[in-house]
Structure 1
Amino acid sequence: MDVNRSTLCKSILALAIAGITSSAYAASEHSFGGYVKTDFMVSHYDNGAPSDDSLSRQFYVPGTIFGDSSRGNTVTDFQARETRFNFTSANDLGGHKLKFFLELDFFTHSDGNQRVSNSYSPRLRHATVTFDNWTAGQTWSTFQNPGALPEALDFVGAAEGTPFIRQGLLRYTMGGFQFAIENPKTTLTDYATGGRIESDSNYVPDVVGRYNFTSGDASFSVAAVLRQLEIEETVNIGGNGAMSLDESEFGYGVSFAGVVPVMGDDKLKFMLNYGDGIGRYIALNYANAAVVSADGSLDTVSSVSGFVSYQHWWSSKWRSNATVSAFEADYDSSLMGSANESAYSGNINLLYSPVKPVTIGAEWLYANNEKTGGEDGELNRFMVSFKYAL
C-alpha cells in the first residue's frame, strides 16, 4: 500500500510538472530566416587591384582600395558569401518575455579560395538572449541605427557615413531609450609610420545611450558613446624600438539618424556623426581613435561623417536607391606619417522584385579614399545581384 501511494504521489507530481512546463511553453515560437544572395562584381582599382583574399574584393571597406601596383586594375568576382541564416526562439515564461537569436553568414574569412571549391567558414554575426527589457550577447552596437541604412547591393552601402559595428554588450531598453555597456577596444596610430596599433589592455567598458522617437510617419534616433582609450603595454613606436606605454584618454561620439517618408512610398534616409576619439565606431575603423606621439602620449583624432540616401519606387516591383557618403578626420600636428584622412563614395541601383522574397538588381559604386600624405585610391564597381529571402 505504501509503495502504491508513493507511486501515485510521484505520478501526480510528474503530471503537475508536465502541466506547468506545457503551460510555460504554450506561447513558444520558433522560426528560421535569412536569405541566399549571389553577387557578380566587376571592380576597377585605379592603382592596382588587391589580392583575391582582400576584404575589398568581398565588399567596399574604406581604406582597402589603395591597391597593389604589381597587379592589374580590373578584376571580376562571383560570390555567394553574403548568404545568411538565422534562428529565433521566443517564449512567454510566467509573464516574462524570453527571446534567443542566432545569425551566421560567410563574409571576411580567407580560409576558402577561388581555385576549386570556394569553401568559406560560417562567421558569427549575432547571438543574443533577451529577457524582458534586457539584452545580452553580440549584436549591433547601441550607437548604430541599422534601420536607417540605405538599401544597397553592396554589403554596407554607405560605409564612410555610418557607425557599423557588432560586438558583445549588455543593454537595457525602456520605451524609446536604450542604455548599454559594450566591449572596449582601442585602435591607435603610430605618429611616425601612420600604422595601426591595437591595444590589448582595455578594461573600462564603452558606455552607450540611444533614444528612438517618431514624428508622424518619420522615425529618428539620437545616440552617444563615451569611451576610455587605454594602452598599457610595450610597443614599437616609429620603428625606433620598444616603448613602454601607460596612457589613457577619453573619447566620445554622437550620431543623429532618420528615415523620412517623402512621396508615395519614397523615403529619405540620412545620418550625421561627430566624434573625438571615436575611432573604430565609424566607417569600419577607417581612422583610429588617437595618435601615439613621440613622447608616448595620446592625441585624439576628431572626425565628422554622414550620408544621405533617397529611395524612389518606380512601381510596386521596381525601385532605385541613390546614396552619397563621406568621412573626414582631423589629426593633431603630432602625426608625421601617412594615415587615412578622408573618404567618400556614391552608389545608385535599380532593383526588381517580381515576387516579394526575390530581388534582382544592378548597382554602380564609386569610392575615393585619401591619406594625409596625399596618396589616394579610387574604386569603380559594377555589380549584379540575385537574392531570395527565406
Structure 2
Amino acid sequence: MNYRNSSLTFMIASSLGAVPATYAVDLGTYNDTSFSVAGFLKAEGIFEDPENGDSRIFGRANQSRFNLKTVTQKQGHTVIGFIEGDFYGGVYPGENSDWRLRHAFIKIDNTTVGQTWTGQFWAVAFTDYLDFLGGPRGTLAGLNFRTTLASYEFQGLRVTAQDPVYADADIPDLAINYNLNLEGGHRIILTASGREVDNGDFVAGAAVGTKVMLGRHSLNLNAHYGEGLGAFTGVGVNGSLSDDVENGDAVSQAGLNAGFRYVFNDQWRANVAYTKVEVDDQAETDYEGQRVNLIHNIIPELEVGVEWRKYNLAFGPLAPEGQQVEVMAKYAF
C-alpha cells in the first residue's frame, strides 16, 4: 500500500476538493512514525444581498485550518493518524471564532475508525467552489458534516457504518460506495445510502457521480434519489436543513448537480455550477443554487478568487436566501 498517495487523498478530501493540490510540511520520522503538518489560511470578504433583510459587507477567516498527520509502517501494517480543526465552533455572526474539531481518525490498512466524512460524502464528484458552507448543498455532501464511523475499503469499494442522524435509531446509518477510475482521468462513483428516520422506518436512497475529462477541463455531474437523504443534502421537508419525515411518513427527494471547470493555464481556472433538488413534500420544496467563480494561483501555494452565488433557500445565517459575492485569498502549507 502506498501510504503517501493514501494520505494525500485524505488531505485533499479534508479541503473538500476545493484546491487543485495539497501541501504538507514533513516534520521527520521517529520510531518508525513520520509526522507532518498541513492546512491553510483563508481570508474572505463577502457582500451579501439577501431576499429578506438588509445588504451587508463583512469579512471572516474562520475556514482557516490546521492538521497533523502521522504514518507508522510496522509488522506489515500501515497506520495513519489524522486530526484537523478549524475556527467554525461559533458560526453565527458576532460569536467567537472557537476552535472546532473537524477530523480525528485512525486508518489501519484499509479500515478507518473515528470522526471523518460520512460515507455519503464520498458519493460526490466535486467542482471547485469558494463557498465552504453552501457550496455542495443539494448533493450528498451538502451538509458538509463529519461523524463517528467505521469504514472498510477494498478495490474501489467502501462500506461505512456511522453514528445515526436519528438519535434513537437502533442501527447505524449505512453507505456503500464504488469508485471506478478510468483511463484519461474519467471517474464514476456509485453510492447506496440507508438509515433509520424519525418515524422508525429504515429507508434507502442512491446516487451517482461522474467526472468527465475534456482535455484539461472537466465536467462533473451528480444525481441522487431516495428517502432519508435530506440529512446529507441539506434540503429537507419545507426547506429545512435535514428533516426527512412529514406527517409520520418518510419523504423522498431527487437532485441534480452539474459543474464545469475550465482551465485557462496553470495559473487561472474558472468554474460554473448549478444544483436543483425537488422534495416530495406537501410544500413541494424546490431548491436551486448557482455559482460562478474565477481562481488565480499567484504561486502554487497561494490563490486568490472571486465567486458569485445565489440560493433560493436559506442555509443557516451565513448563507441566506439571495445573492453573495465573495473575494478571498488562501495560502496552503
Q: Shared topology, TM-score over 0.5?
A: yes
Q: 1:343/1:40 Cα in 2 relative to 1: closer, same or farther (>3 Å)?
A: same
Query: 1:389 and 1:112 mapped to 2: Cα distance?
Result: 26
Q: For residue 362 of structure 1, what is the aligned residue in structure 2?
A: 306
- State the shift of 1:378 in Å: 3.9
Matches within 5 A, 1:1-390: 27-48=32-53, 73-107=54-88, 109-110=90-91, 113=94, 119-145=96-122, 148-155=125-132, 156-164=134-142, 165-186=145-166, 200-216=167-183, 217-230=185-198, 247-263=199-215, 265-283=216-234, 286-291=241-246, 293=247, 298-331=248-281, 341-369=285-313, 378-390=321-333
Q: 1:180/1:287 Cα in 2 relative to 1: closer, same or farther (>3 Å)?
A: closer
Q: For residue 70 of structure 1, what is the aligned residue in structure 2?
A: none
Is the Cα–Cα contact under 8 Å of residues 112 and 121 in structure 1 kept in the other structure? no
Q: SS of the residue aligned with 2:158? A: strand
Q: SS of the residue aligned with 2:299? A: coil
Q: 1:208/1:97 Cα in 2 relative to 1: closer, same or farther (>3 Å)?
A: same
Is the Cα–Cα contact under 8 Å of residues 111 and 121 in structure 1 kept in the other structure? no
Query: 2:123 and 2:131 mapped to 1: Cα distance?
Result: 15
Q: SS of the residue aligned with 1:129? A: strand
Q: 1:108/1:324 Cα in 2 relative to 1: closer, same or farther (>3 Å)?
A: farther
Is the Cα–Cα contact under 8 Å of residues 25 and 93 in structure 1 kept in the other structure? no
Is the Cα–Cα contact under 8 Å of residues 276 and 303 in structure 1 kept in the other structure? yes
Q: Show CA shifts across 1:152-189 (max 9, x none).
A: 11115231234343211111111111111111123xxx
Is the Cα–Cα contact under 8 Å of residues 177 and 209 in structure 1 kept in the other structure? yes
Query: 1:378 and 1:78 mapped to 2: Cα distance?
Result: 19
Q: For residue 317 of structure 2, what is the aligned residue in structure 1?
A: none
- State the shift of 1:28 in Å: 2.1
Query: 2:257 and 2:92 mapped to 1: Cα distance?
Result: 33
Query: 1:112 and 1:278 mapped to 2: Cα distance?
Result: 28
Q: For residue 191 of structure 1, what is the aligned residue in structure 2?
A: none
Q: SS of the residue aligned with 1:144? A: helix
Is the Cα–Cα contact under 8 Å of residues 362 and 385 in structure 1 kept in the other structure? yes
Q: 1:112/1:29 Cα in 2 relative to 1: closer, same or farther (>3 Å)?
A: farther
Question: Structure 1 stretches (4+) deviating beyond 3 angstroms?
Answer: 24-27
Query: 1:315 and 1:87 mapped to 2: Cα distance?
Result: 32
Query: 2:123 and 2:93 mapped to 1: Cα distance?
Result: 29
Q: Show CA shifts across 1:242-270 (max 9, x none).
A: xxxxx42121111111222112x211112
Is the Cα–Cα contact under 8 Å of residues 158 and 324 in structure 1 kept in the other structure? no
Q: Unaligned regions of 5+ residues in structure 2, if any?
A: 1-28, 315-319
Q: TM-score, normalised by structure 2?
A: 0.82
Q: TM-score, normalised by structure 1?
A: 0.70
Q: 1:34/1:109 Cα in 2 relative to 1: closer, same or farther (>3 Å)?
A: same
One-letter amino acid of the counterpart of residue 82, structure 2:
F
Q: For residue 8 of structure 2, what is the aligned residue in structure 1?
A: none
Rg larger in structure? 1
Q: SS of the residue aligned with 1:325? A: strand
Q: SS of the residue aligned with 1:369? A: coil
